[in-house]
Amino acid sequence: MGSLFVLNDFMNVFYLYANICSYTLGMVISFYLNKYYNFKNTYKKVHYQFISFALVAVTGLVLNTALMYVFVHYLFSNDTSMFVMISKLIATFIVFIWNFFINKSVTFKVFQ
């Protein structure tokens, strides 16, 4: 969320574009942490796992961005920084649950 805040507030990047950049950075970091620390996965063909992980993440990105849009424009009806960050927090929590269970049951279980 820090990169979203910096891009949106300090660099004046439109919040949905900033969200995509933020989410992509988080995806790469999340893959590494999940593979080596969370699931302690030793599968050697990392590129297959990363492709699976990225497909799940892209689905999560679409869901995350759609949720943010709905929250900012319909729930809060306000695109100020505070409401963008609250929307991001709620959307991230929902998408985190989706990504975790799909990756647990597919990405790091099938590719072992």
CB atoms within 10 A of CB 56: 20
Q: Would the pLDDT of 110 be above 80?
A: no
Q: Name the average pLDDT for the chain.
A: 91
pLDDT, residue 108, reads 85
Residue 112 has pLDDT above 70, yes or no: no
